[in-house]
Amino acid sequence: MKTLAITIACFAVALSALTGCKEDKPETNNPGVTEPEMVFVQGGTFTMGSEDALDLGASPSHQVTLDSYSIGKYQVTQAQWLAVMGSWPGNAPNSNCGVGDNYPAYYVSWYDIVGTHPSAVGYTVKGVTYYQNGFCYKLSQLAGDGKQYRLPTEAEWEYAARGGSQTNNYIYSGSNNIDDIAWYTGNNSPNGAKPVGTKDPNELGIYDMSGNVAEWCGDWYASYTSTAKNNPTGPASGSDRMIRGGDWRTIAATCRVAERNIRTPGDRSNNLGFRIVLDATIPDVWTQKANFAGGTRTRAFSFSIGNKGYVGTGNVLDNINPKQDFWEYDPVLNVWTQKADFEGGNRINAVGFSIGNKGYVGIGCEGSFISPTKQDFWEYDPILNTWTQKADFAGAARINTVGFSIGSKGYVGTGIDRYDNFLQDFWEYDPVSNTWTQKANFPVGNRDNAVGFSISNKGYIGTGSSSETKTDYDDFWEYDPASNSWTQKANIPNGGRAAAVGFSIGAKGYVGTGYPWARRDFWEYDPVSDTWTQKANFGGGGREHAVGFSIGNKGYLGTGGPVGDQQDFWEYTP
């Protein structure tokens, strides 16, 4: 197998020396500058390999079953590489062999894509560990949302190249006529890689899986066996990594979908690039993540900034042990990192929200419910890992309030003071002027332990309780900061509740858990249709006084009570 790779490479180098590689015509498409466009591949069972003698190394054919995944519509481009990595790891693409934003990235080794720094482990998927100095990890960090980009397994590559469940069983990816779908030695004049997506796609709408540049896969090389396999990832070790697809320097036979080839993982070449894969996400599902690292907790605050979440303070064992610690959650690594303690001291029932790249925390009380309530307010800078005291909250000191942000402003309202007076006032915070301005009161009922979040340029508050009316509310209200007015919306289903969790993901809002009965039910709100839809119950046990926030297109919920304080932490995929 290695002999084949060396023979073809030597022939291609000789051919290149004779004919030269000239810069091709300007690129005509734009597959995306940073985050590659992905195509969903429905999982299934297929025959991998071939008994045809032209398909070197592809025998014996065998049955393979794969889960669903998404794969790059195009080979990763030069613009995408530079947007993520900033520079080339060795030789840069040149005009002799194809250079331009939408040309495929080449001169990149398997190690350049995956990373090489053992002390900076990122994540492990399908048997490959992706390190923090590699392309996949860096792209995942830029993309956020907990994404973990990776190379395809060899089986995933071949299944997608064959057209997945839509296959027409072509010998090349998308046609039996190679000139329709591939750049190779037979049609590649002038020589060199071409802009991605300039030939026809295959049955799934994926381009250049035959020809242009060959593509790295995640697997070590091993000979096939006839045994049926489920989601194979290749051997645990080896000396050569798989490459597939053929390229502009090779003959037509090398571009066949079953043809196999190998390279040592450190190789960089002007005919070798890659495309990337994401595991498919199952909608409306809760996935348990790493437990909150600060231990069991209830009545903490939380918010998110960019692609990180933050949780801090709260109490343990029914106010016996109030906290001031503060933690950052990284969804890509699924790890918690302790940050600078909240400088306002021990605190329970505080409120938190973020504006831009800063977090804001304040009010609450120092410990038990009979301890003095607070008015102080603090700004957290995640870059400096520092807290700065800001103007005190302008309303009465209180606990169990609602807080959220809309654009460049923060909003805080409702709650209860230390004398058990339930409140309905509502305030706007401007971080530029560091001032509070009173706005229109929340319209119905003094209350505490309500839930709130924002969607686009509107805020929402609902549920909560009041000892004055002995009521747990199910009403729901929209706040418009432009008109400083409240509008009642559809009630939250399943009866009144308090101490629930709420957050927004994209254009939808989510509310769930809370008391009475330590609930697990979870609901999605659509502000366009003003309707609620029940979703999958929270994945942990019944919960109240938990924390919740969203990062990208995922929600997060954890900690809380009431049957013993909890530290479990869950991710929600809508």
For residue 284, what pLDDT band results from cuts at 50, 70 and 90? confident
- The answer to whether residue 335 sits within a structural domain is yes
Cβ-contact 455, 508 below 8 angstroms: yes
For residue 280, what pLDDT band results from cuts at 50, 70 and 90? confident
C-alpha neighbours within 13 Å on the C-beta side of residue 473: 22
pLDDT at 120: 75
For residue 16, what pLDDT band results from cuts at 50, 70 and 90? very low
Classified as helix, coil or strand, 334 is: coil
- The answer to whether residue 237 sits within a structural domain is yes
Cα separation, 201 vs 203, in Å, equals 7
- The answer to whether residue 519 sits within a structural domain is no
pLDDT tens-digit series, residues 205-239: 999 999 999 999 999 999 999 999 999 999 999 99
The H or E element that residue 436 is part of is: strand 435-439
Q: What residue numbers bound the domain in which 107 lies? A: 2-279
Comparison of pLDDT for 234 and 28, the residue scoring more:
234
Cα separation, 429 vs 440, in Å, equals 14
Asked whether residue 303 falls in the same domain as residue 403, the answer is yes
The H or E element that residue 40 is part of is: strand 38-41
- What 8-state DSSP symbol labels residue 77? B
pLDDT at 143: 86
300: tokens are: 């903490």
- The answer to whether residue 529 sits within a structural domain is no
Cα separation, 264 vs 241, in Å, equals 6
pLDDT tens-digit series, residues 54-102: 888 999 999 999 999 999 999 999 999 999 999 999 999 999 999 999 9
- The answer to whether residue 544 sits within a structural domain is no
pLDDT tens-digit series, residues 436-473: 999 999 998 789 999 999 999 999 999 999 866 668 99
Contacts for 3 with CB less than 8 Å, ≥ 6 apart: none
Asked whether residue 324 falls in the same domain as residue 220, the answer is no
pLDDT at 511: 98
Q: What is the CATH number of the domain that holds 326?
A: 2.120.10.80
Classified as helix, coil or strand, 44 is: strand
For residue 11, what pLDDT band results from cuts at 50, 70 and 90? very low
pLDDT tens-digit series, residues 484-519: 999 999 999 999 999 999 999 989 999 999 999 889
Asked whether residue 303 falls in the same domain as residue 275, the answer is no
Asked whether residue 72 falls in the same domain as residue 148, the answer is yes
pLDDT tens-digit series, residues 149-204: 999 999 999 999 999 999 999 999 999 999 999 999 999 988 999 999 999 999 99
Classified as helix, coil or strand, 160 is: helix
Contacts for 268 with CB less than 8 Å, ≥ 6 apart: 89, 90, 91, 106, 107, 108, 109, 112
* Total number of domains in the chain: 2
Phi-psi region of 484 (alpha: psi -120 to 50; beta: other; left: phi over 0): left
pLDDT tens-digit series, residues 349-388: 999 999 999 999 999 998 765 578 999 999 999 999 999 9
Asked if residue 22 has pLDDT above 60, the reply is no
Choose one of 459, 481, 501: the last residue of a domain. 501
Global pTM value: 0.62
486: tokens are: 């409240």
Cβ-contact 58, 181 below 8 angstroms: no
Cα separation, 287 vs 331, in Å, equals 12
Cα separation, 553 vs 329, in Å, equals 16
Classified as helix, coil or strand, 100 is: coil
pLDDT at 441: 97
Asked whether residue 185 falls in the same domain as residue 271, the answer is yes
Whether the bond into 562 is cis, omega within 30 of 0 = yes
Q: What is the CA radius of gyration of the chain?
A: 28
